[in-house]
Chain A
Amino acid sequence: MYLALAPDTIARWQFGMTTVYHYLFVPLTISLVAITAGLETAYVRTGRTKYFHATKFWGKLFLINIALGVVTGLVQEFQFGMNWSAYSRFVGDVFGAPLAMEALLAFFFESTFIGLWIFGWDKLPKKIHCACIWMVSIGTILSTYFILAANSFMQNPVGFSLDKAAGKAHLTDIGAVLFQKLNLVVVAHTLTAAFLTGAAFVMGISAMHLWRAARLQRRGRPTDLKQVAAMRTSLRLGLVLAVVFGLGTAISGDKLGEVMFEQQPMKMAAAEALWDKEAPAPFSAFSVPDVAHQRNSVDVQVPGLLSFLAHKDFHSAVPGINDTAKAEAAAYGGSPAEYIPNVPMTYWGFRAMILFGMTSFTLGAAGLWLTRRKFWVAPEHRTGSFDVPRLMLTRNRELGAVGAGLAWRAGILTMAFPVIANSFGWIFTAMGRQPWAVTGLLRTVDAVSPNVSLTEQLITLIGFSLLYIALAVVELKLLVKYAGAGPVTTERPPLRDIKLGGASTLEGSPRDADKPLAFAY
């Protein structure tokens, strides 16, 4: 049993666990900060309090998230050196450059302006305060870009030369690393998926509040109209974003598939459980891969579709797992079996990603249809901006009690779907490139730290797991608490705009000097 625990197994588990965990917070952070920035812009431009309440509300949820996103990102940066020192020595020259750029150009931005935004409500003029959150948003997006450039290099190494004697890859063309086709598409796919995640989150929480308001109203209990107004705007925003970015995710995903068929045929063949070359190649809708016999024991297929996904025609040949493995074995030595990734994991990871991602898009579109406020609906049936939207199907008619209940429930459930899709997406993309850490250059088994003992690795794996579980519980409790409470509508926006450098000094009136801070830890 002890022998089965090779150092690279523990290091892989640690990498997988910490990465998927880190990535639970990242997409939500990227999108929530942009949504908050958009809402604050709406507030600054119109001065309407519903936007102010919505800004504060989503901003708070964003802050709860980013706290964990940032600190778990530290683990990501450190573990390359801790667990994968052979990898770091080998590609540090190439991989480190985008990482350093991320820190210098993006992360400084993000972290500095977050402080200004959190504590700056009564210290900065409205417009500058709003600009601060946009800076944070730009920071997160730049961050995504550089990190994905580093990751894309691992998937498809470019812009380097190999120094065999020193056992190092040397960077020769930074432009190739930053702007390779794969990276551009991956960035588009990751960002659209991140916004889909945020959209579903906003949509789910707003739906929860509106549903609650609808039930309170039905029982004749008082409802907080300002809260309804803020949540109503948020719901529509979430629905629109879900549709727009759902489509974006699908389009970029399709493009990404095409690029990967070209650059990483093994990953896509495994994603489709396509064992042997076929022309035209069918798309597998459901299969049970039988790895031992290198075939599928059950397979439901759509003929020709895979050829279309890969080459945009219905009859081109797509190479299978066995052909690709043979080609790789011929190029790098060893037996073909060594080059086959975990097929069931890749196959189902790929499908789970698509299924959960597209479900959120569909539900977003359905919600947009259901909550629409058409001009041709009779005036008495239209809902004002302080009303709970009725779930209408056609003119003058509401969805029945059962149907409405189901629709609100579906809206709330959608929150989780893109998060699941993201996790499976990364599991798919990282497992699909095995046995390589850097495709064609460095195997994962050769990438681990040679001098770190199994005991040490187990200590950190268990340590991080326990800490992460504990933090997940805390974070979830806080999220449920704050999301459940809804926008604090008793909070009033600052009455007068602050002059930069004026109110912040001690020279103001004595009463101003002793005024409590608008925000304090």
Chain B
Amino acid sequence: MHLHDLWFFVIALLWVGYFFLEGFDFGVGILTRVLARGETERRVLLNTIGPVWDGNEVWLVTAAGATFAAFPDWYATLFSGFYLPMFVILLCLILRGVAFEYRHKRDGERWKRNWEAIVFVTSLVLAFLWGVLFAAMVHGLPIGADHEYHGGPAELVQPYALLGGVTTTVLFTFHGAVFASLKTMGSIRHRARHLAQKAGVLTVLLLLAFLTWTQVDTGNVRSLVAEAVAVLAVLVSLGFNFGAREGRAFVASGLSVVASTAMLFLALFPQVMPSSLNAAWSLTAANAAAGSYTLGIITWVAGFATPLVLLYQGWTYWVFRKRIGVQHIPVTAHAPSAPAGVRRPPAWR
């Protein structure tokens, strides 16, 4: 096995990790509008992902950085090709990150509602856009002999890519609902479970449609197995969810995210960005890769760092393993107010 093939799978793994982790926090973000009744419940949901979303997002940073190092051509074509969608993704990531941190920093009703709306909208858009981009990438794009993308943003508006976007949105919502039912208590937990039940049925249908289309389009035996696993995992998750075995249901919903992401990469391999103009112009793991020296170096670094990352990120989840309910949400906001009796003159006088 060549190092660049190994690195194809490392990058796939990073995306799998990203979608597994940020998948449920996108889902929870979407649920703040769908599931939560009132501000306190919205805060319960936000706080289930509060301690971990930042760590989850690093999987994306690492996926992009590793692609830059291991496959400079893939990185260059992907990011410049999807110029405007990437711009929208960046806007959403910026606003979403800021929204989590700034929402509770002021007391005003409008301030909070605006940031809550931003969490919902950006989670929705991100869940959708990643699906569209990945579907478009697997399906093939007008890539020229120079490895440059020769199409416009309109290239993404195709039924297959849009179906991909809808599928990831629903899948992540399902994954998020299962996570929410695992991490909350009281009535919101039960409602999350019921919602997961409905979203799960829709997820099975969409996954079946989208992954089968992918399979017919570019599939092979391995991707067929991954597809079967992905769909079965949702069914298993639904079963556990029905029996209120939330931990197991979450493992299974995570497995379906893992398997469907893996399915896309297995359908892609050994290409990384197939060209729809001429198969000879496609970017492959071999022709887009960095030199073997660079690959060797980052293999060592990744081999050292990955277990460490999994260890301390796993520990974070363990520290915050407790369920949260409305009773855990402190009534007082963290915004500072002057103690009574002390009137402060402004600093500039």
Contact = CB atoms under 8 A, between A and B. Distances in A.
Nearest to A81: B79
B175 interface: no
B133 to A, nearest CB: 13
Contact of B330 (A89, A481, A484, A516): A516
A14 to B, nearest CB: 11
Given A80-B68, A451-B150, A460 B87 contact: yes
Given A97-B298, A171-B294, A520-B329, A103 B65 contact: yes
B301 A171 contact: no
B330 A471 contact: no
A444 interface: no
A478 B84 contact: no
A100 interface: yes
Contacts, number: 284
B66 A103 contact: yes
Nearest to A86: B76
Contacts of B330: 516-518, 520
A74 B64 CA distance: 10
B110 interface: no
A104 B328 contact: no
A78 B90 CA distance: 8
A403 interface: no
Interface string B120-160: 00000000000000000000000000011110010000000
Given A99-B68, A212-B345, A456-B83, A517 B47 contact: yes
A517 B64 contact: no
A190 B185 CA distance: 48
A519 B320 CA distance: 12
Chain A interface mostly: helix
Interface string A109-147: 101111110111001100000000000000000000000
Contacts of B100: 67, 521
Most buried by B among A112, A221, A484: A112
A78 B50 CA distance: 25
Contacts of A486: 336
B97 A70 contact: yes
B170 interface: no
Interface of A: 63-64, 67-68, 70-72, 74-75, 77-78, 80-83, 85-86, 88-89, 91-97, 99-105, 107-109, 111-116, 118-120, 123-124, 168, 170-172, 174, 208-209, 211-212, 215-216, 221-224, 412, 449-452, 456, 459-460, 463, 467, 471, 474, 478, 481-482, 484-486, 488-490, 504-506, 514-521
Nearest first, the 7 A-B pairs at minimum CB distance are A92-B72, A81-B79, A96-B69, A485-B336, A96-B68, A85-B76, A85-B80
28 contacts: A67-B102, A83-B80, A85-B148, A96-B68, A97-B69, A97-B294, A100-B62, A100-B70, A105-B305, A108-B305, A112-B54, A112-B55, A115-B55, A120-B319, A174-B297, A211-B347, A222-B341, A459-B87, A460-B83, A460-B87, A467-B95, A471-B94, A478-B106, A488-B336, A490-B339, A516-B330, A520-B47, A521-B104
Interface of B: 43, 46-47, 50-55, 57-58, 61-62, 64-73, 75-81, 83-84, 86-87, 90-91, 93-95, 97-98, 100-106, 147-150, 153, 290-291, 293-294, 297-298, 301-302, 305-306, 309, 312-313, 316, 319-325, 327-331, 334-339, 341-345, 347, 349
